[in-house]
Homo-oligomer: A and B are copies of this chain.
Amino acid sequence: MSDHIVSSYDNDLENLRRSISEMGGIAEKMVADATDALVRRDTALAQSVIVADKRLDTLQHQIEERAVLLIAKRQPLAIDLRETISAIRVSGDLERIGDLAKNVAKRVVAISDQAVGQKIIVGVKHMSDLAQAQLKDILDAYAARDIKSSRDVWERDGEIDALYNSLFRELLTYMMEDPRNISFCTHLLFCAKNVERIGDHTTNIAETIQYLVTGETPTGDRPKDDASNYTTVEPAGA
CA distance A92 to B234 in the complex (A): 38
Asked if A148 CB lies within 8 Å of chain B CBs, one says no
Scan A170-181; emit 1 where CB is below 8 A from any B CB, else 0: 001001100110
> Which of B75, B186, B234 is in CB contact (< 8 Å) with A75?
B75
Residue from B68, B179, B229 within 8 A of A71 (CB atoms): B68
Query: What per-residue 1/0 map shows which CB atoms of A102-119 lie under 8 Å from chain B?
Result: 010011011100100000
Query: How many of A's residues come within 8 Å of B, CB to CB?
Result: 43
* Candidates B61, B111, B233; contact of A183 at CB < 8 Å: B233
Q: Which of A15-23, A27-35, A124-132, A187-195 contacts B (4 or more CB under 8 A)?
A: A187-195
For the complex formed by this chain, how many copies does it contain in all?
2
Q: Name the interface residues of A80-108: CB closer than 8 Å to any CB of B.
A: 81, 85, 88, 92, 103, 106-107
State the CA gap A68–B190 with chains docked (Å).
36
Query: Is the C-beta of A4 less than 8 angstroms from some C-beta in chain B?
Result: no
**A1 partner residues in chain B, CB cutoff 8 A:** none
B75 touches A73 (CB 8 A): yes
A230 lies within 8 A of B183 (CB): no
What are the residues of chain B within 8 A of A230 when measuring CB–CB? 106-107, 109-110
Identify which of B88, B109, B231, B235 contacts A179 (C-beta below 8 A). B235
Residues in chain B near residue A2, CB distance under 8 A: none
Q: Could you list 15 further interchain pairs (A-B, Cβ under 8 angstroms) beyond the known A61-B217, A92-B92, A180-B235?
A: A88-B88, A107-B229, A109-B229, A110-B231, A172-B182, A175-B175, A175-B179, A176-B179, A176-B182, A179-B237, A179-B238, A180-B238, A182-B233, A183-B233, A184-B232
A sample of 20 inter-chain contacts (CB < 8 A) reads: A68-B71, A71-B71, A72-B72, A72-B75, A72-B76, A73-B75, A75-B75, A92-B92, A106-B230, A109-B229, A111-B232, A114-B232, A172-B182, A179-B179, A179-B237, A180-B238, A182-B235, A183-B232, A183-B233, A186-B186
